[in-house]
Amino acid sequence: MRVLRYPMLILWLVIAACGSTVKNLSPASAAAAGTSVAAFPSEEYRIQPGDLLDIKFFYSPELNEQIPVRPDGRIALQLAQEILAAGRTPAELTAALKETYSKELKKPDVTVIVRSFGNQRVYVDGEVAKPGLIPLTGPTTIRQAISQAGGFLYTGNPTDVLLIRRGPEDRPLAMMVNMKKVLDGTDLGQDIYLKPFDIVYVPKTAITNANLWIEQYLNRMIPRIGFTAAYPVGSGTMGVDTSSTIITPAK
C-alpha cells in the first residue's frame, strides 16, 4: 500500500512546503476557509483586473464611460486621477468616485456597473477528460466545474478530490472533498461553491497507481516471464499472452 500512496503524498508535501494544511471538508473547516456549504454564496462581488465597468453619472452624462480595469487594478477617468478599483465592491468604488468628483461636481451621483467579468476562472486538473481553465460565468460548484472539464475519467478517484484555495496572506489552503457522496446524493454539502483562482485536483484511483508502478518499475526493469501462443479456432485465431502483469480494475 505504500506505493499506492506516493502520488497523493507528493502533492501533499508540495502543499505543506507552501505552508498550507490539508483538511477533510466539514461545515466548520469550510466556514474557516470561507466556503459556502450547500448554500448560495453570500459574499459581495469584488472587482478584479480585466473586468469591464460602466461608470454612469446621473446629472452629468457627458462623463459616462465604459472602461476595463487594468492589470494593476486601477482605472483612469475624466476629471479624476487614477483610482484603485480591484479588490473593491461596486458600492465601495461608487463611494470613492463620489468623494473624488465632489470636488468637481455639485451633484456627483455615480453608479458603477460590472458589465463583464475578466479573470473569474478556476483550474481543474488530474483525472478529468479536459483539464484546464474553467471560466466562472456565475455561481459554480466543484461538481459543475468537473462536469465542464469533461467529467471524471475511469481512472479518477472521486472520494479524495482536492480543493486548493488562496488563504490569508495568499498562503494555499487545501481541503479534501468526497465527490462520490455528492454524486450519489448522500452528502450534497460536499459540493461547495468555487472562488476565482481555486484549483480542483482529481487524483488517480489506487488501482491506477498500482498499474503505473508496475509498468514503470517492474515491466521495464525486470524481464517479463511468460509465453505467447496462437491457436486456430474455426475460421479465426485465438491468441494467448501470459507475459502481461498489468492489473485491471474490478467491475
Return the domain boundaries, the chain.
3-42+119-204, 52-116
The tens digit of pLDDT for each residue in 2-12 reads 333 444 444 54
What pTM, to 2 d.p., does this model score?
A: 0.56
Q: What is the mean pLDDT of residues 89-105?
A: 92
The tens digit of pLDDT for each residue in 50-81 reads 899 999 999 999 999 999 999 999 999 988 88
The tens digit of pLDDT for each residue in 229-251 reads 555 656 666 555 555 544 444 44
* Res 119: pLDDT: 73
- With a pLDDT cut of 70, the percent of the chain lying above it is 65
Specify which of 36-40, 53-57, 112-116, 245-249 reaches the highest per-range mean pLDDT. Answer: 53-57
Q: Is the confidence at residue 13, as pLDDT, over 80?
A: no
Q: What CATH number should be reported for the domain whose range is 3-42+119-204?
A: 3.10.560.10
Higher pLDDT among residues 232 and 124, named by residue: 124
Query: What Å distances lie between residue 75 and 55, 69, 165, 170, CA to CA?
Result: 11, 6, 28, 24
Residues 6+ apart with CB under 8 A from 132: 123, 124, 149
* Res 200: pLDDT: 95
* Res 28: pLDDT: 42
- Rounded (5°) CA angle 191-197-203: 55
Tell me, which fold does domain 52-116 have in CATH? wza like fold (3.30.1950)
Q: Which residues pair with 163 in a beta bridge?
A: 175, 200
